[in-house]
Amino acid sequence: MYRAPINEIAFTLKEVAGLKQLQGLPGNEELSEDLVDAILSEAAKFAEEEIAPLNRKGDLQPAQLVDGAVKTTPGWKECYTNWYQGGWNSLTGSPEFGGQGLPNMLHVAVMEMWNSGNMAFTLGPTLTIGAVEALEKHGSEYLQSTFLPKLVSGEWTGTMNLTEPQAGSDLSALRTRAEPQPDGTYKIFGQKIYITYGDHDMTDNIVHLVLARLPDAPAGTRGISLFVVPKYMVNADGSIGAQNDVRVAGVEHKLGIHGSPTCTMVYGDEGGAIGYLVGEENRGLACMFTMMNNARLAVGVQGVGIAELAFQQALAYALERKQGKAPGAQDEGMSAIAAHPDVKRMLLSMKSKAQVARAICYACAHALDMSKAAPDEAGRKFWTERAGLLTPIAKGYSTDIGVDVASIGIQVHGGMGFVEETGAAQHLRDARIAPIYEGTNGIQALDLVMRKLPLSGGDHVKAFIAELREIADQVAAENMPEMGSAGRKLRAAVNDLEEATLWLLEAQGNGQIAEAQAGATPYMKLAGLTLGGALLAKGALASKAEDELTRKRRVQVARAFAETELGETAGLKETVTESSQGILSVDIAEFA
């Protein structure tokens, strides 16, 4: 049922998010528009024809633990095999290890399609990419030569083992132990929870990346090291060896993404799991952080994928389903519910939010790519900061959009939306994890406010706001009647964002840490709304070269978002700047 919106995706890449800027830069010499279009079109085919048909199946026949091993949903192993053998896992991997070295921008575009097709399926490869990055940057030659080629190709998958029962958002509390061995390896002992695709039957081996503590490690986050712990040892000739002391002890029963096994992993129950140090001792968190931006962005893209899917399904239903008579309807009989103003409002809200999430995630990918490809040091610094600024917004705001849009999708379906058979409810259940994992959206908001606003002494975010203002001014200057009050709304939003930003910077400067933290979540929404409105407007302005229908749609979506969503920025600004005292004065335990 899912149809990949290739035109929308290509347009957003090229005209909104900045792909053209990347073309021709070092490492992107072969990034022609033809190549982009060809990849998008092939990916669309695979997403629609092979991945999407398994989405409902994964929901109904979850991955499960059978005789101490995880059995995935029927058909998933075959689909995964076709997928990686088609070269889809190796898009971004380094050519040195068999990868295609393509930029993140292209990757998020195809990731969106995989996620629309089947988020639970796509989550597996998403984790592999994290492992690839960690090993590309921090792995020893042995680790790189032994594991990278098969992780890059997708012949093996990777996992990230961070969380323990007492250590979730706060990794300083983790207890898994690593004991150095005379041969240079380590023995790993401990339990990890919520390990995505911790076990499965789709590949011959699984490469676990595990955070653990050395015996003499300092307390807190400066005493954490990162290890590779393969499910099966690898022989010198590259063949699969003995089973390592790793086992899956349970699979969670979750609200959604049923097809994705969320495992409890036990290391070292029978004498110690053999692990290999990645990077330096006690520097494990730094290794993790190098891949955090990409992983967080990848979760943001899940929000995009679900929002697009939910929109497509709701629109199809609303055009088909007839109830009542829309005001002014000329036809005999009942109108399609899509013709009723209230339903049209819901559909436009879904469409515009999906496009906002897409534009933000793609812009974030662009910044990540530029942080590597920019020709000079100043440019790389600028784009590194920009990627840092955009990542929490891409992760936090896009995944909030995923949940929001999926919920509106249920509402458009009425009673049918609450019945699982329809499939609309699954989107909400699936989407609901994305604001939680890879750093909750509260953590994202804190990262945005406490770490990203202060970059370059606040100058970076100020420059960013100036860019948004330029777009707003341009919209206002063009004075297009069909854009309604979008220019005015956008200008007001930019002012609100600026005011809230300056307040937060000042609060931090004054050491009012709690005050700044209290406003973090409303600030993230304010930033997401304003950036989203600006990117939609940028797209509308850039669409003059498009055909009439395409252009009309871009203008309508940008206008609808500005006129129905941006009004919220004034209230959010006030919440950031005025509500912290009240919140902080509360002893919430008194409400128990």
Q: What are the catalytic residues?
A: 438
Looking at 17-25, 234-242, 283-291, 559-567, which segment touches a copy of itself (CB under 8 A)?
559-567
Can you tell me which of 46, 362, 437, 503 binds a copy of itself, judged by CB under 8 A? Answer: 437
Can you tell me which of 127, 248, 367, 518 binds a copy of itself, judged by CB under 8 A? Answer: 518
Which of 259, 36, 228, 238 minimizes the C-alpha distance to 139? 228
Task: Tell me the C-alpha distance between 572 and 526, whole Å.
Answer: 6
Can you tell me which of 7, 243, 323, 456 binds a copy of itself, judged by CB under 8 A? Answer: 323
Output the smallest distance, CB 95 to a copy of itself, in A.
Answer: 36
Q: Are 406 and 306 in contact (CB under 8 A)?
A: yes
Residue 7 makes contact with a copy of itself by CB under 8 A: no
Residue 421 makes contact with a copy of itself by CB under 8 A: yes
Q: Are 294 and 278 in contact (CB under 8 A)?
A: no
Using CB atoms within 10 Å of the CB of residue 198, give its burial: 0 to 12 exposed, 13 to 18 middle, 19+ buried: buried
| Contact positions with a copy of itself (CB under 8 A) in 522-541 | 522
Residue 351 makes contact with a copy of itself by CB under 8 A: yes
Q: Closer CB to a copy of itself, residue 132 or residue 529? A: 529
Residue 182 makes contact with a copy of itself by CB under 8 A: no
Output the smallest distance, CB 301 to a copy of itself, in A.
Answer: 19
Can you tell me which of 203, 517, 530, 543 binds a copy of itself, judged by CB under 8 A? Answer: 517
Can you tell me which of 53, 168, 180, 241 binds a copy of itself, judged by CB under 8 A? Answer: 168
- Measured between alpha carbons, how far is residue 283 from residues 211, 213, 280 in Å? 10, 10, 5
Residue 419 makes contact with a copy of itself by CB under 8 A: yes
Which of 87, 90, 85, 89 minimizes the C-alpha distance to 101? 90
Q: Closer CB to a copy of itself, residue 194 or residue 383? A: 194
| Contact positions with a copy of itself (CB under 8 A) in 464-483 | 482
Looking at 31-39, 274-282, 452-460, 510-518, which segment touches a copy of itself (CB under 8 A)?
510-518
Output the smallest distance, CB 515 to a copy of itself, in A.
Answer: 8
Output the smallest distance, CB 555 to a copy of itself, in A.
Answer: 10
Residue 64 makes contact with a copy of itself by CB under 8 A: no
* First-to-final CA distance of the chain: 47
Residue 520 makes contact with a copy of itself by CB under 8 A: yes
Task: Tell me the C-alpha distance between 122 and 112, whole Å.
Answer: 10
- Measured between alpha carbons, how far is residue 411 from residues 325, 453, 557 in Å? 19, 37, 20
CB under 8 Å to 371, separation ≥6 — which residues? 380, 383, 384, 386, 387
Residue 425 makes contact with a copy of itself by CB under 8 A: yes
Amino acid at 545: A
- Measured between alpha carbons, how far is residue 29 from residues 22, 24, 133, 376 in Å? 9, 4, 22, 17
Q: Closer CB to a copy of itself, residue 21 or residue 550? A: 550
Output the smallest distance, CB 361 to a copy of itself, in A.
Answer: 20
Can you tell me which of 291, 338, 387, 448 binds a copy of itself, judged by CB under 8 A? Answer: 338
Residue 578 makes contact with a copy of itself by CB under 8 A: yes
| Contact positions with a copy of itself (CB under 8 A) in 387-416 | 403, 407, 410-411, 414-415
Tokens of residue 512, six digits: 């009012």
Q: Burial code of 361-398, b = ≥16 C-beta within 10 A, e = fewer? A: bbbbbbbbbbbbbbeeeeeeebbbbbbbbbbbbbbbbb
| Contact positions with a copy of itself (CB under 8 A) in 148-167 | 163, 166-167
| Residue labelled with tokens 């005379």 | 182
- Measured between alpha carbons, how far is residue 571 from residues 306, 472, 496, 525 in Å? 28, 19, 9, 11
| Contact positions with a copy of itself (CB under 8 A) in 229-258 | 252-256
Can you tell me which of 35, 38, 242, 584 binds a copy of itself, judged by CB under 8 A? Answer: 584
| Contact positions with a copy of itself (CB under 8 A) in 256-315 | 256, 262, 315
| Contact positions with a copy of itself (CB under 8 A) in 438-457 | 440-442, 445-446
DSSP reduced 3-state for 89 = coil
Amino acid at 185: T
Determine phi and psi for 177, rounding to 5 degrees.
-105, 150
Q: Closer CB to a copy of itself, residue 135 or residue 536? A: 536
- Measured between alpha carbons, how far is residue 472 from residues 16, 51, 79, 318, 541 in Å? 14, 39, 45, 33, 11
Q: Are 397 and 297 in contact (CB under 8 A)?
A: no
Q: What is the largest CA-CA distance in the chain?
A: 84
Tokens of residue 498, six digits: 């600026």
| Residue labelled with tokens 């490690």 | 217
Looking at 222-230, 327-335, 366-374, 381-389, which segment touches a copy of itself (CB under 8 A)?
327-335
Question: Residue count at the site for a copy of itself (CB under 8 A)?
Answer: 108
Can you tell me which of 94, 283, 484, 502 binds a copy of itself, judged by CB under 8 A? Answer: 484
Which of 269, 104, 125 minimizes the C-alpha distance to 197? 125
Can you tell me which of 17, 120, 348, 393 binds a copy of itself, judged by CB under 8 A? Answer: 348
Residue 191 makes contact with a copy of itself by CB under 8 A: no
Can you tell me which of 10, 25, 143, 173 binds a copy of itself, judged by CB under 8 A? Answer: 173
Output the smallest distance, CB 569 to a copy of itself, in A.
Answer: 7
Looking at 10-18, 86-94, 239-247, 508-516, which segment touches a copy of itself (CB under 8 A)?
508-516
Task: Tell me the C-alpha distance between 236 and 290, whole Å.
Answer: 29
Residue 570 makes contact with a copy of itself by CB under 8 A: yes
Can you tell me which of 42, 201, 546, 568 binds a copy of itself, judged by CB under 8 A? Answer: 568
Residue 374 makes contact with a copy of itself by CB under 8 A: no
Task: Tell me the C-alpha distance between 475 and 543, whole Å.
Answer: 13
Q: How many residues does the chain have?
A: 592
